[in-house]
Chains A and B, each alone.
Chain A
Amino acid sequence: MQASRARLFKEYKEVQREKSVDPDIQLLCDDSNIFKWTALIKGPSETPYEGGVFQLAFAIPEQYPLLPPQVRFLTKIFHPNVHFKTGEICLDILKNAWSPAWTLQSVCRAIIALMAHPEPDSPLNCDSGNLLRSGDLRGYQSMAKMYTRLAAMPKKG
């Protein structure tokens, strides 16, 4: 599919140009395969993910951008809308609310927004969803913080 390749190439150039514009997102394209990308995103401040750096993996279908990319967390994260084992993300814009007007960059932004504003009603991680739904915000936050420290921060010493 020539169209998706061209579009991804455009996005690639755009990312190179805008690198400094959004310091929270770093998108990297696989050297040998333009349909495989990874991203490093910073945990939003004033959330349990603050200070962590999370790695995302993108698998892009040939019909992109008419069909959405598949995105998952490679870094362990305790979040009600992320599957704890597989890193799958439950986010409407990656499914039926996808619009071809989205880019990989804007998908990253949407995921950062999801980290800051979890939706406990469509949980992929039931434990954390239950903690949040039952109003145990502190329980949720301490678990999320713990995993951020364990998995998303550079090991000290």
Chain B
Amino acid sequence: MADFETSDDDYYGDDSLDGLDQEEDDLLWTPQRTPSSASKVITRASLLAAQREDLKRVTEMLTLKEHHARTLLIHHRWDVERLLAVLVEKGRDRLFTEAGIPILDAAHQASARSTSSIMCNICMEDISPNDVTTMDCGHCFCNDCWTEHFIIKIKEGESRRVRCMAHKCNAICDEAIIRNLVSVKDPEVAERFERFLLESYIEDNGKVKWCPSVPHCGNAIRIDGDSYCEVECTCGLQFCFRCSSEAHSPCSCLMWELWIKKCKDESETVNWLTVHTKPCPKCHKPVEKNGGCNLVTCLCGQYFCWLCGGATGRDHTWTGIAGHSCGRYKSDHNKVAERAKRDLNRYMHYHNRYKAHMDSMKRENKLRETVQATIATSESKDDGFRDYSWVTNGLNRLFRSRRVLSYSYPFAFYMFGDDLFKDDMTEEERQLKQNLFEDQQQQLEVTVERLSKFIEEKFDKLPEDKVKEIRMHIINLTVLVDTCCKNMYECIENDLLGLLQSTTHSIAPYTSKGIERASELSVCPDSDQILNSSKANDDDAHDPSWVSSAPGTDSEPRSEGQVSCASLDDNGCSSRKRAREETLGSLLFDLNLPAEVA
């Protein structure tokens, strides 16, 4: 990107084409996504590992049990930095009690264990000490009561914060105990619990969002920096990270939401009808005014007054209807009608341009194939000696800027309209800023159209020198369009949104290289569990030993990682995976379906 800026000057009217090295850099855009992109895609297979990474950091840093680390992380929305800040600021005890982790020493309670039967305070039965469980907080109840309590809480959707049954005890129950007890009684609920815990990493996490694709690709995206950004999932969908709708920069999320709504609910058509027609007082059908005078006739034969809508007789003069007087509302009527008409015209102006660029984008999408074919024939002609990357680069630039251009119209509609910032600017200021912006917008528009025109040329049919000329134009315009986009964004950020007094309105910044595709999360295989989960990703790693360790098949305490990752494996890709899905039966969750809250 930096290259573009410094070499802009060389570009204008310079035939030397020394911009080629930048174009090579541009080449990297589409096919190869840099592995270090700021956003990461979290797949069904890597979700567990991603979660474990954070869990591991916290367990190691604070030396505590994993379920306590999870409780802390859920409480702090998976923000490790914030959690550590609280630790420093308020101390360990406060950090723990606020999140619902008892500070009580486990050894402390162990001594209290008795050998005779214990009365459970819930069911009021005397229970053998083998059938009761003491939670970290020291409260002890029978396993049946605990189990029922857990099932109710999980069904209520409280999996992430199941509290102890004792009165006023704030402690969050040990997930391993929940898992063990519930899976014996109701494996389906246990599965739901597992899934809720796992998805907490996505749903309670400010830096992670589900990809909004429909049907859902199963992925989530984790971002590294500012949440005002646009991302591309590996499934190809580009979306706004903040509002999860389609990428809409330079519109802000609010503008986009308003715009979509405006386009959808045909309120404008309704407006048009109210401006241009009135319901007949007899049959209630809309009647359009046809002539200059205020007496209108409906198809049903009813006469009525256009100004007030009241039924009248047919005797009238130019200024009045016999036996009818409503003149004093006339001016009001006209004002309202005029206003609605003006609003409608304004909307139409912006909408038409928005729509036109959207349509062009669709057309240009088809162009991609044609252009590729043209390149292919040209390459075959000159034995692949020549490099045609300038065409593909130009094409990519065209898509990107067409998009920006298209969304710049709803942006302008709200930026200079009455809906959002009426009180932020005086009328003169607004006019001034609108002119400033429209200059940028028009320059971009003109440049984009020129680029589009050159790219549509069938250069394979043209003589050598003509191709050379087109090539030069395309390379120049490619850079120029990028500069225009940059300038327009700069204008938006510095002169328009940046100067707002009453509100802060942010948009996803312009990226020269287009919306970055999230890269696969690389999992560091430094613990057994993580190793297992990365195996789940790998077709060849069908080690049956961990698949068979499903709940209830062995008494040894399993690591929960194994179960979940078996359950989380990608279903429905290869036949081998499908085969395993059958052996696992109901153990698999489908991350495409929402975990239901009963």
Contact = CB atoms under 8 A, between A and B. Distances in A.
Interface of A: 3, 6-7, 10-11, 14, 63, 65-67, 93, 97, 99-102
B152 A66 contact: yes
Contacts of A3: 123, 144-145, 148
A102 B124 CA distance: 11
Interface of B: 121-125, 144-145, 148-149, 152, 165-169
Contacts of A11: 124
B123 A99 contact: no
A41 to B, nearest CB: 20
B152 A99 contact: no
B124 A101 contact: no
Nearest to B139: A101
Nearest to B166: A101
Contacts of B123: 3, 6-7, 10
Contact of B124 (A10, A63, A97): A10
Contacts of B152: 63, 66-67
A104 B78 CA distance: 40
Nearest to A93: B167
Contacts of A10: 123-125
A7 B167 contact: no
16 contacts: A3-B123, A3-B144, A6-B125, A7-B123, A14-B124, A66-B145, A66-B152, A67-B152, A97-B168, A99-B166, A99-B167, A99-B168, A100-B149, A101-B121, A101-B122, A101-B167
A66 B149 CA distance: 6
Given A10-B124, A100-B122, A101-B122, A66 B167 contact: no
3 interchain residue pairs of minimum CB distance: A99-B167, A10-B124, A100-B122
Nearest to A6: B123
Nearest to A63: B152
Contacts of B148: 3, 63, 66
B447 to A, nearest CB: 61
Most B CB within 10 A of own CB, among A7, A93, A99, A102: A99
B149 A102 contact: no
A3 B168 CA distance: 23
Most B CB within 10 A of own CB, among A7, A14, A102: A7
Given A7-B122, A99-B166, A101-B167, 8 more contacts: A3-B144, A3-B145, A6-B125, A7-B123, A7-B124, A66-B152, A100-B165, A101-B122
Contacts of B167: 93, 99, 101-102
A37 B123 CA distance: 18
B72 to A, nearest CB: 22
A65 to B, nearest CB: 6
Contact of B165 (A63, A93, A97, A101): A101
Contacts of B144: 3
Contacts of B125: 6, 10
A97 B169 CA distance: 10
Contacts of A102: 167
A93 B124 CA distance: 20
A88 to B, nearest CB: 22
Contact of B122 (A65, A67, A93): A65
A66 B168 CA distance: 15
Contacts of A99: 165-169
A84 B167 CA distance: 29
Nearest to B153: A66
Nearest to B164: A99
A3 to B, nearest CB: 6
Nearest to B169: A99
B258 to A, nearest CB: 37
Nearest to B156: A67
B343 to A, nearest CB: 44
Contacts of B169: 99
Contacts of B145: 3, 66, 100
A7 B145 CA distance: 11
B134 to A, nearest CB: 15
Contacts of A7: 122-124
B127 to A, nearest CB: 13
Contacts of B121: 101
Contacts of A100: 122, 145, 149, 165
Contacts of B149: 66, 100
Contacts of B168: 97, 99
